[in-house]
Chains A and B, each alone.
Chain A
């Protein structure tokens, strides 16, 4: 068997001992690695510092004999090799990948699941083929309403449900990519090589890795991960409460994350740059503000132009800091007017945390 997708691992190993930020290990088995937020001054998160979330762990796929299949409600079922897929066209787009559970450890009361802090997110330039081109080639039938991604990772046991996620066919046709490239390098093994879904603006649970194929269907998948997992209350509930009704989570809510200053930083009085990223699934970010007085007054930060739906925008604010202890807060507002709130919307799955971001720092004269 040949494995040509290990370049990221090799370069990761060469970083050992270097004074660069490192991934934070949240869980070894299955492997969950978190990006340090200091990296979020970069437009693109380097592949070897990009967070990793695994349900069952990477399968040892033989890339040479690997095929991608299209089945279900299509005129022509397909079975394609990587070489054949690459001939179907090549598209590239920047997009934010954020784990649905990013920020879970910040919920009170605590919630079961990977205890992410703020760094289960990153942005890459993704390259691959448009899913709409695949659907056209296979001839999706008029009854088709959903596309279910068929992953390559194996459940831990026969009673454990497979990780099957479905998206509506409108989303599949709009902007979804099947990617083999990440930041202009071959997609790394831990990030789903040889092929993964890229679902701009939507939470990471839809970005299925190690794709063996898709199933075109009239209904969404009826298994655990569509019917029970990844659900949000339809109405806000009190922390620790039980929702009356739930719905599948889809697009990411508006959010900002502070990259500078670092949590616990000791700063010199004077000009301090407040930097970070902002994004959301409902379109471009309109403004990002920061506050150093617990939200009483806010100062607008300079915001990058949007590079397209699903991409993040970096911000830089300037703070004239005088001596004292502070919490710096950030708050993003999107073009529809939706803004981050002081408190997160607590939910039993610990999903989609998007309260004001906060870092504590001390300023000395």
Chain B
């Protein structure tokens, strides 16, 4: 299972964005320390906010849920404080600026936009289970693949981290086609992966074995 180059490039782009951001927020260089009144941090740029939105929110929520909330800057501040405790990947110095960005990007005054990408039938399909899962795979091979490619974000025991949701007993484990597509194409901040024959079965067999 090999990470695909285009997605890797995208990931690098995101990473460099993070690097620039952390560079900007690094401890001030000598001349800045000498200043009597520190400048307030610059507001998040549109692209910067969008990257943070994708990395911090959409690993657990659909984007529409966040975009449709239309709450105040103070309200976003409270939500971000709560979600940071729960593992959301927002640095402390980003939190207030992200609240400002969200409240300006999705203003209270504008009515929540309908989400044309979701139909009730589609939403229910995502919850439907494949009652006849595919052939049994090699759990040990699945564990190796998981440890190499997935554990960093989904957690060593697949119980989730701020970077990716829990997979234990996740309904997608009963949906072979959807699972395969997800791993191949990626989703949100998750990159796509090339799969060899048998990889899906091995991963699913390993992950299903983690259920309570």
Interface residues of A (CB under 8 A from B): 1-3, 6, 9, 12-13, 16, 22-31, 33, 56-62, 109-115, 152, 154-161, 189-190, 212
Q: Is the CB of B166 within 8 A of A154?
A: yes
Residues of A within 8 A of B121 (CB): 12-13, 16
Known: A110-B108, A155-B160. A189 touches B127 (CB 8 A): yes
Interface centre among A16, A158, A161 (most CB of B within 10 A): A158
Contact: B112 with A115, CB < 8 Å? yes
Decide: A59 and B169 in contact? CB cutoff 8 A: yes
Is B155 in contact with A154, judged by CB distance below 8 angstroms? no
**Are B87 and A57 within 8 A (Cβ)?**
no
| Subset of 18 A-B contacts with CB under 8 Å | A2-B131, A3-B129, A3-B131, A25-B115, A25-B123, A27-B61, A31-B123, A60-B170, A109-B71, A109-B72, A111-B75, A115-B70, A155-B160, A156-B60, A157-B162, A157-B164, A158-B87, A189-B129
> From DSSP, what is the main secondary structure of chain A's interface residues?
loop
Given A57-B171, A60-B171, verify A33-B123 contact (CB < 8 Å). Answer: yes
Give the contacting residue for B162; candidates A3, A114, A159, A189; CB below 8 A. Answer: A159
Question: In the bound complex, do residue A160 and residue B86 qualify as a contact, i.e. CB atoms below 8 Å apart?
Answer: yes
What size tier do the contact residues of chain B reach? 35 or more
Q: Identify the closest chain A residue to B69 (Cβ).
A: A112
**Residues on A with beta carbons closer than 8 Å to the beta carbon of B165:** 156-157
Find chain A residues with CB under 8 A from B212 CB: 212
**B64 with A28: CB separation less than 8 A:** yes
In chain B, positions 136-175 with a C-beta closer than 8 Å to chain A are: 155, 159-162, 164-166, 168-171, 173-174
B residues sitting closer than 8 Å to A (CB atoms) are 59-62, 64-65, 68-72, 75-76, 78-79, 85-87, 108, 112, 115, 118-129, 131, 133, 155, 159-162, 164-166, 168-171, 173-174, 208, 211-212
Excluding A56-B166, A112-B79, A157-B160, 14 further A-B contacts by CB distance (< 8 Å) are A12-B124, A16-B121, A25-B118, A26-B65, A29-B61, A31-B127, A60-B211, A109-B108, A152-B169, A154-B166, A154-B169, A156-B60, A157-B155, A158-B160
Contact indicator B124/A13 (Cβ below 8 Å): yes
A60 touches B120 (CB 8 A): no
Please state if B128 and A25 are interface contacts (CB–CB under 8 Å): no
A1/B174 in contact, CB under 8 A: yes
Q: A156 near B160 (CB under 8 angstroms)? A: yes
Q: Are B75 and A112 in contact (CB under 8 A)?
A: yes
Contact B127 A9, beta carbon cutoff 8 Å: yes
- Complex CA gap A109/B69 in Å reads 12
Name the A residues within 8 Å of B71 (CB-CB).
109-112
- A61-B72 Cα distance, complex, nearest whole Å: 39
CB neighbours of A26 from chain B (8 A): 65
Q: Quick one: closest B residue to A212, CB to CB?
A: B212
Residue on A nearest B79 in the bound complex, by CB: A112
Cα distance A259–B112 when bound, in Å?
23
* Residue ID in chain B nearest A61 by CB atoms: B169
B173 — which chain A residues lie within 8 A by C-beta? 60
Q: Which residue of B lies closest to A34 (CB)?
A: B120
**Do residues A62 and B211 form an inter-chain contact, with CB atoms below 8 A?**
yes
Contacts of A155 in B (CB 8 A): 160, 166
CB neighbours (8 Å) of B65 from chain A are: 26-29, 114
**For B64, what are the chain A residues with a Cβ–Cβ distance below 8 Å?**
27-28
Q: In the complex, A156 Cα to B120 Cα: how many Å?
A: 23
Q: Which residues of A contact B171 (CB under 8 A)?
A: 57-60
